Chain A
Amino acid sequence: MSRPTALVLAGPGTNRDRDVAAALELAGANVSIALTRDVLDDPALLDRAQLAVVAGGFSHADALGAGRMMALDLAAVGDEMRGFVDAGKPLIGICNGFQVLTRTRLLPGALGHNAQGDFDCRWVVLDPVGSSRCVWTAGLTHPVHCPIAHGEGRYVHPDPAALADAGQVALRYRSTNPNGSVADIAGVCDRSGVVLGLMPHPENHIVARQHPHHRRGGGGHEHLGLRIFENGVRHAKAR
């Protein structure tokens, strides 16, 4: 099958749309970036896509809570988003996109301010959860290395154990939990497993040179964030 079509959604203030577009291109997709207003004008953009991303950044400056205004904007195409997921098409929300997707109720839980109080940018190690039903992390046997860059990344959920039992915990922070997320949760998926939300930025580790330990022989292809996007593309193709 040819390269699947990926749609990257960007609101006013989304700023990692180009980064994730580069990751998806490398993973084998044909990517286009659309503004929220483009999708509101033409909801069929979603129908035509086989994979979608809500990208990271500061939509509407994250004023009064990260992701809230963009989630409100997307409510107008709530049925189309729901339809996209119900059709089994992979959707990922990264950082601000994760915050947006929790507010649209496509993902469970919420993201609060980091426990330590400040925006934090550093590299973290993510353990894929083997029992997860998430299509984006399925089959990943090695930890993913990539940076975080957020001020509101503390994952909150009233019953993280039930979430894990349902196979919805996809990624956990290894050793360093940078923001106080409950049960070290870095990424969660919906009940079907096609929607993944995560705070870290796998799109900023798609070639070995980006790894901070590259010069010391660290990193390595098995730890690339690219693997997550390759999974998404593979799933989009397989449908």
Chain B
Amino acid sequence: MADRHRLTIRSIDPDPRAASVLDGIKQLGLDPVGQIVVADIVFVDGDLENDAQHRLHAVLVDPLLQSGSWATPTTCAVEVTPLPGVTDAGAHAVEHAAHVLGIGIRAAATGVRVEFPDEPSPEAISTVVERLVANDVIERWSHGTVDPFAHLPPNGPTHEADIIPLRSLSDDQLADLNTERGLSLDPEELTAIRSHFDSLGRDPTDVELETLAQTWSEHCAHKTFRARINIVAGPADELGTQRPPLLGQLRQSTESLAAPFVVSSFVGNAGVVEFEPGTTLAVKAETHNHPSAVEPFGGANTGVGGVIRDVLGIAHRPIAVTDILCFGPPELPLDALPTGTLHPRRIRAGVIDGIADYGNKIGLPTVAGAVLYEERYTANPLVFAGCIGSAPTRPLHDGPYPGDRVVVLGGATGRDGIRGATFSSATMDATTGDVAGASVQIGDPITEKLLIDALVGAEDLYSAITDCGAGGLSSAIGEMAEGVGADVELDAVPRKYPGLAPWEVWLSEAQERMVVAVPPDDLDELRARCEHVGVTVADVGEFTGDNILIVRSGGTVVAEIDTEFLHDGRPQREMDAALPEPDRSRATRRVVDDPVDALRRLLQHPNIASKASTIHRYDHEIGGSTVVRPLIGTAADAPADGVVLAPIDTTAGVAIGIGVNPWYGLHDPESMALAVVDEAIRNVVAVGADPDKVALLDNFSWGDPRRASTLGELVAAVDGCCTAAHMYRAPFVSGKDSLNNEYMGSDGERHSVPPTLVITAVAHLPDADHCVTPDLVAAGNVLMMLGSTEPEFAGSHLDLVLGEPAEPGVAPAPDPDAPAMYRKLHAAMRAGLVESCHDLSEGGAAVALAEMCIGGRLGANVDRLPGEDFATALFAESIGRLIVEIEPRRVAAFLRVMDDDATRIGVVTDRLDLRLPGVTPIPVSDLVDWFHHGPDDHAPAGGPS
């Protein structure tokens, strides 16, 4: 068509995306396709005169870097373009350019063209595209050329809500409706809804039913964490008893600790703590597992965006992001991949790109994290994204008040992520990628950046704030309206495109939106402020005061729900748990014939080996507050324990530590919880944080809790968390559970993730000028070990590399002496007695010492290691242990502060080898080499380019 134009833009120098696809072909063992050329395409729908083409060309093509052509290419190629409604920043750029240049166009789009000059078979091309280039969840592609304007979203009804004849449905028909609409409600919940509308004498609209399904979803309502739990199997004294809800247990533990620094816990969007008078920190960690499984880039991308909005949604300026990622093994053969799932390499590449894209563009440092590999994560990768925010201390917002306006800020609404909350709460199967369709979106970090610019400093202009996450406006406005009521008009909500049904607007999970309650007198000022930075403001209604949530479309009421029924009408779940009964009495030992080889394999294990290729993808410097980075040491290539942020003008900072170990969880979920809380706290103590000012976040990613054994493991882990919180006097302030991380294979078998508990410790660091890191500092210094070493190997990385014996023995047990020891260590650090410090975790003492040598590029002569046998001393993973480096002249003082609770194990040397008792000396250069040549090389990117 004459009014459709396309500009193909090629890089003059080789485009690295081509190399990335070729690399992916090699790694996955796909049929070779010869050379590959990648180009960008700009599509314009509009009447472009030659002069207009010329001027657009001048803006979009830099002659030093690129060449561009308006001719339609005919070489052997495929073209990929985002589905209509999927974020296309390039299209916005073209529209902006046309506007500035005064060129009238109707629409713009972008695409990627992948050319195959050697003309391989169409089948070979299709395989490469499906495996490595395009994702049907968000993109369309075709051989030859693609027309991005061909598939605009269908026009549906715009004002009508459907009436669902719920009252006349039998229980079986209710179950069918549940499946058809993807409501993911329990049978008791469906009947409660039916009874409610029976009592009202009318049937619900689709808007009402969908609102209830979202609000009552596992994702939003945490039904399992709020359920009554019957113990149906387990220790005799617990059998037949009932447990209070898990969430209540965690809250109770925080309340009973009564830590003075906790400002707000387990309410609102994030936990809030005040370590130093005058400044509060908001902390939150979220999961984004299901979306990342079907669209890794978009899933992780929007996961980061969501957790940043959580912090913004409690009136704090976001200052840093964390991420913990769990993937299947990168070397998994293609034929071992469950049907309908993406290969771990592609998931990893997409997830890491997605996090980097959002964090880097929004301008937040991504500072702390972990990457874990395990076969059980193949079909269910896990993505935990966290955010920390900071604000001057002020009272928390306590609105909305009747009369306040309901104001939606930020991005426009489309059919994005419809039913995301219910999607997240369901088991996945081979068709998930197809039906999920609209469930995953690509983020728009710039729009969210502008929201931060608009809202930070505007705290006096609103009485309540929340973010639009799962469930969209239905959740955000529904939650704000609790106890006050609201009346909103959907026509006032800005749309990306026409044709959305009312329930779609109401439930859409379009990203980058916030809802604020604004006193009418403040609306003009807020509007001016938002419009100045470029944030769209929509006044969609009013908080009323009558406790009723009314939703209108074109004036017609499409939902009228009592907020009390919406929030308290859900029948409490009652669930059965079979508690695990791990045998903790029989420790078993290990025989390691070749300790050098074992250490080599440990350092090369993807869980332990360098994550540098990932970490360098994230900006960890922006903001200027990063004091201890995730990579430390002379060559900035050794792993840090905790990371530290401190603004340039303050002495104190905040330390962040992570604890996670699903392998312990497979053996003993309660011990795992204690171990990972200990690890997170030990990480922050090791860098110099105050063990008496630590707040914790919990993130549980589990399998289907309706299986009694799975719920039993969750109950045991929550028990461990509560015990640990008391042991360390470290309160939980926020948390998030993601259940049903299961995949129904085409073989009919369920694949569940291992019990995965991520603990984030956020701690006060009194003196950011004197942080301690694990890199050895000077030859001649003394190395000392703190804590006690036992033959605890169940779930150890030694077993992962050498194979687990028939009797794995015990997982690491809690150390009741650890909290007191950490306080003494902190006192020693404050006194300047500690040169370097490293925690012992995966791989035990041998790996910890190796990492300290790598960090300082120095050797160590270790002449004795605690432990009742050789393998225990080197590789056991007992918790509560650290190695410290002390100057010889300060050893006596250090021992005094520690009450002699430290064991001298050796000295730092400049011989550049690691000498362990009974082991051939290992050159530090070998350690460096092994550590850097694990399999964690960066895989090519899938998804959007």
- To the question of whether A and B form a pair in one complex, the answer is yes
Q: Which residues of A contact B (CB under 8 A)?
A: 12-13, 15-16, 18-19, 22, 35, 37, 57-58, 60-65, 68-69, 72-73, 75-76, 103, 109-110, 112-123, 147, 149, 156-158, 201, 203-204, 206-207, 209-210, 212-216
**What are 15 of the A-B contact pairs (CB < 8 Å)?**
A15-B362, A57-B363, A58-B361, A58-B445, A61-B92, A63-B89, A64-B90, A64-B94, A112-B64, A123-B636, A149-B360, A156-B13, A156-B64, A203-B624, A207-B648
A61 touches B532 (CB 8 A): no
Task: Indicate the size class of the contact surface on chain B.
Answer: 35 or more
Contact of A112 among B13, B96, B356 (CB under 8 A): B13
Chain A: CB-nearest residue to B59: A72
B19 touches A117 (CB 8 A): yes
Complex contacts, A204 vs chain B, CB 8 Å = 621-622, 624
Min CB–CB distance A153 → chain B (angstroms): 12
B621 touches A216 (CB 8 A): no
Min CB–CB distance A218 → chain B (angstroms): 8
Please measure, in the bound complex, the distance between the C-alpha atom of A214 and the C-alpha atom of B767, giving whole angstroms: 14
Min CB–CB distance B758 → chain A (angstroms): 24
Please measure, in the bound complex, the distance between the C-alpha atom of A74 and the C-alpha atom of B646, giving whole angstroms: 35
Contacts A68-B93, A121-B617 given; 6 further ones with Cβ under 8 A? Answer: A13-B449, A103-B62, A118-B938, A119-B617, A149-B621, A203-B624
Is B626 in contact with chain A by the CB < 8 A criterion?
Answer: yes
Is B533 in contact with chain A by the CB < 8 A criterion?
Answer: yes
Complex contacts, A203 vs chain B, CB 8 Å = 624
B97 touches A12 (CB 8 A): no
Min CB–CB distance A67 → chain B (angstroms): 10
Chain A: CB-nearest residue to B623: A19
Please measure, in the bound complex, the distance between the C-alpha atom of A118 and the C-alpha atom of B349, giving whole angstroms: 11
Min CB–CB distance B726 → chain A (angstroms): 34
B449 touches A147 (CB 8 A): no
A122 touches B636 (CB 8 A): yes
Q: Which of B238-246, B603-611, B771-779, B926-934 contacts A (4 or more CB under 8 A)?
A: B771-779
Is B632 in contact with chain A by the CB < 8 A criterion?
Answer: yes
Complex contacts, B449 vs chain A, CB 8 Å = 12-13, 15
Contact status of A109 and B768, CB under 8 A, knowing A13-B361, A121-B621, A216-B777:
no
Is B267 in contact with chain A by the CB < 8 A criterion?
Answer: no
Is B450 in contact with chain A by the CB < 8 A criterion?
Answer: yes
Min CB–CB distance A230 → chain B (angstroms): 16
Is B110 in contact with chain A by the CB < 8 A criterion?
Answer: yes
Min CB–CB distance B142 → chain A (angstroms): 22
Min CB–CB distance A145 → chain B (angstroms): 12
B648 touches A210 (CB 8 A): yes
Complex contacts, A156 vs chain B, CB 8 Å = 13, 64-65
Q: In residues 14-70 of chain B, which contact A (Cβ within 8 Å)? A: 15-17, 19-20, 40, 42, 59-60, 62, 64-66
Contact status of A120 and B617, CB under 8 A, knowing A12-B450, A69-B97, A115-B16:
yes
Chain B: CB-nearest residue to A99: B62
Q: In residues 79-94 of chain B, which contact A (Cβ within 8 Å)? A: 89-90, 92-94
Please measure, in the bound complex, the distance between the C-alpha atom of A64 and the C-alpha atom of B94, giving whole angstroms: 8
B619 touches A110 (CB 8 A): no
Complex contacts, A75 vs chain B, CB 8 Å = 100
Complex contacts, A110 vs chain B, CB 8 Å = 62, 64-65
Is B634 in contact with chain A by the CB < 8 A criterion?
Answer: yes
What 9 pairs between A and B have smallest CB-CB spacing?
Answer: A15-B363, A117-B16, A63-B93, A110-B64, A63-B89, A61-B89, A13-B446, A147-B621, A149-B619
Min CB–CB distance B614 → chain A (angstroms): 10
Chain A: CB-nearest residue to B63: A110
B624 touches A206 (CB 8 A): yes
Complex contacts, B863 vs chain A, CB 8 Å = none
Contact of B42 among A60, A64, A116, A210 (CB under 8 A): A64
Chain B: CB-nearest residue to A212: B636
Contact status of A213 and B634, CB under 8 A, knowing A60-B96, A69-B93:
yes
Is B570 in contact with chain A by the CB < 8 A criterion?
Answer: no
Contact of B534 among A12, A103, A158, A214 (CB under 8 A): A12
Please measure, in the bound complex, the distance between the C-alpha atom of A120 and the C-alpha atom of B13, giving whole angstroms: 19
Complex contacts, A63 vs chain B, CB 8 Å = 89-90, 92-93, 110
Complex contacts, B65 vs chain A, CB 8 Å = 65, 110, 112, 156
Is B219 in contact with chain A by the CB < 8 A criterion?
Answer: no
Chain A: CB-nearest residue to B42: A64
Min CB–CB distance B634 → chain A (angstroms): 7
Complex contacts, A13 vs chain B, CB 8 Å = 361, 445-446, 449
Min CB–CB distance B768 → chain A (angstroms): 7
B93 touches A60 (CB 8 A): yes
Please measure, in the bound complex, the distance between the C-alpha atom of A115 and the C-alpha atom of B617, giving whole angstroms: 14
Please measure, in the bound complex, the distance between the C-alpha atom of A114 and the C-alpha atom of B775, giving whole angstroms: 30
A72 touches B648 (CB 8 A): no
Please measure, in the bound complex, the distance between the C-alpha atom of A39 and the C-alpha atom of B777, giving whole angstroms: 51
Please measure, in the bound complex, the distance between the C-alpha atom of A107 and the C-alpha atom of B618, giving whole angstroms: 28
Min CB–CB distance A76 → chain B (angstroms): 8
A120 touches B89 (CB 8 A): no
Min CB–CB distance B537 → chain A (angstroms): 16
B362 touches A64 (CB 8 A): no
Chain A: CB-nearest residue to B64: A110
Min CB–CB distance A16 → chain B (angstroms): 6
A209 touches B648 (CB 8 A): yes
Please measure, in the bound complex, the distance between the C-alpha atom of A15 and the C-alpha atom of B622, giving whole angstroms: 8
Contact status of A209 and B11, CB under 8 A, knowing A12-B534, A58-B360, A64-B110:
no
Contact status of A64 and B60, CB under 8 A, knowing A120-B617, A121-B620:
yes
Contact of B446 among A12, A68, A122 (CB under 8 A): A12
Complex contacts, A58 vs chain B, CB 8 Å = 360-361, 363, 445-446
Min CB–CB distance B454 → chain A (angstroms): 12
Is B522 in contact with chain A by the CB < 8 A criterion?
Answer: no
Is B911 in contact with chain A by the CB < 8 A criterion?
Answer: no
Is B769 in contact with chain A by the CB < 8 A criterion?
Answer: yes
A210 touches B93 (CB 8 A): no
Contact status of A121 and B59, CB under 8 A, knowing A149-B621, A156-B64, A215-B771:
no
Is B629 in contact with chain A by the CB < 8 A criterion?
Answer: yes
Which has the most chain A C-beta neighbours within 10 Å: B15, B96, B101, B110? B96
Contact of A16 among B9, B11, B622, B648 (CB under 8 A): B622
Please measure, in the bound complex, the distance between the C-alpha atom of A32 and the C-alpha atom of B402, giving whole angstroms: 39
A209 touches B769 (CB 8 A): yes
Contact of A19 among B450, B624, B777 (CB under 8 A): B624
Chain A: CB-nearest residue to B636: A212
Complex contacts, A212 vs chain B, CB 8 Å = 629, 632, 636
A206 touches B94 (CB 8 A): no
Please measure, in the bound complex, the distance between the C-alpha atom of A116 and the C-alpha atom of B16, giving whole angstroms: 7
Is B616 in contact with chain A by the CB < 8 A criterion?
Answer: yes
A72 touches B16 (CB 8 A): no
Please measure, in the bound complex, the distance between the C-alpha atom of A60 and the C-alpha atom of B646, giving whole angstroms: 29
Please measure, in the bound complex, the distance between the C-alpha atom of A55 and the C-alpha atom of B90, giving whole angstroms: 22
B768 touches A209 (CB 8 A): yes
A64 touches B40 (CB 8 A): yes
Contact of B616 among A109, A115, A120 (CB under 8 A): A120
Complex contacts, A158 vs chain B, CB 8 Å = 64
Is B733 in contact with chain A by the CB < 8 A criterion?
Answer: no
